[in-house]
Amino acid sequence: MMGEESNKRDPRLFLLEGMPKNSVCAEIGVYRGDFSAKIVKIVEPRVLHLIDPWKFRTEKTYENAWYGGALGVSQANMDSIFDSVRERFKNQTRSGVISIHRAPSADVCSGFPDDYFDWIYIDGNHMYEFVKKDLESFYPKIKKDGYITGDDYHGDDHEAWWHGDIKKAVDEFVSPGVCEKVLMRNNQFILRKSADEPHAAPIGAFIRLRFFLLYVLRSRRGTRKRDSTPSGIDRAVKDTTRAA
């Protein structure tokens, strides 16, 4: 989901509130960089990699996508959007906070070492095979206990051009137990990469979910100061362990 939305209306901000500050992260699917700007403001990352080919797709499948049909307009328009992103983040690029990669995510991924990212946000090509590829290829690049997050997680009953492909790919990826479902909310998904031990027991997942929701409510009410080192999610889980 992309567009000019205010902080108060963007349903994705709860996710950023839970991500660790001073982290190494990536956004796959950047478009105009609106969400990128919110990542910089809220998370204050050490390094944010912006990954997008900014390529106009002519196939009928993409006629309702931001990068196809009447919305994408043409390759010249996508080139113009890319130039605007470079201009928008020129200061952060010079300082090394932001690194812009104009290429398909599958091509960029191989250039990162394993266990590199604290978290990533997937909002690129929404077709099943591309989401599946992003999940599988970036998984080794995520640190243990790091997060794989993303947008537009809803079923095929939702009127969207990708027909539930994101949910299908995410659910299939999670099913072997390589990741723990932390939260699915506001069409966002948050997965946590398992550490050395196997997939957490169901009761552990329930406790994590319960206390993460409490953290979100407290953050909204302003009764708890945001602290993401460790992240808000981690702090909530540790509080649960002490209380048990």
- pTM of the predicted model as reported, rounded to 2 decimal places: 0.79
- Identity (one letter) of the amino acid at 149? T
Which pLDDT score, from 0 to 100, does residue 5 have? 41
Q: Would the CA dihedral through 98, 90, 126, 57 be positive or negative?
A: negative
**What CATH number did the domain enclosing 64 receive?**
3.40.50.150
Asked if residue 106 is part of any domain, the answer here is yes
CB contact set of 63 (below 8 Å; sequence gap of 6+)? 69, 70, 161
Asked if residue 224 is part of any domain, the answer here is no
Asked if residue 2 is part of any domain, the answer here is no
CB contact set of 222 (below 8 Å; sequence gap of 6+)? none
- pLDDT at residue 165 above 50? yes
Asked if residue 170 is part of any domain, the answer here is yes
Q: Which of 49-58, 184-193, 203-212 has the lowest mean pLDDT?
A: 203-212
The whole-number average pLDDT for the span 18-22 is: 96
The whole-number average pLDDT for the span 98-116 is: 97
DSSP assigned state of 65: S
The whole-number average pLDDT for the span 82-89 is: 98
Which pLDDT score, from 0 to 100, does residue 234 have? 55
Asked if residue 204 is part of any domain, the answer here is no
Q: Is the peptide bond before 113 cis (omega within 30 degrees of 0)?
A: no
Structural domain range at position 81: 13-199
Asked if residue 223 is part of any domain, the answer here is no
The whole-number average pLDDT for the span 111-125 is: 97
CA distance between the termini of the chain: 38
Asked if residue 206 is part of any domain, the answer here is no
Number of domains in the chain: 1
Asked if residue 242 is part of any domain, the answer here is no
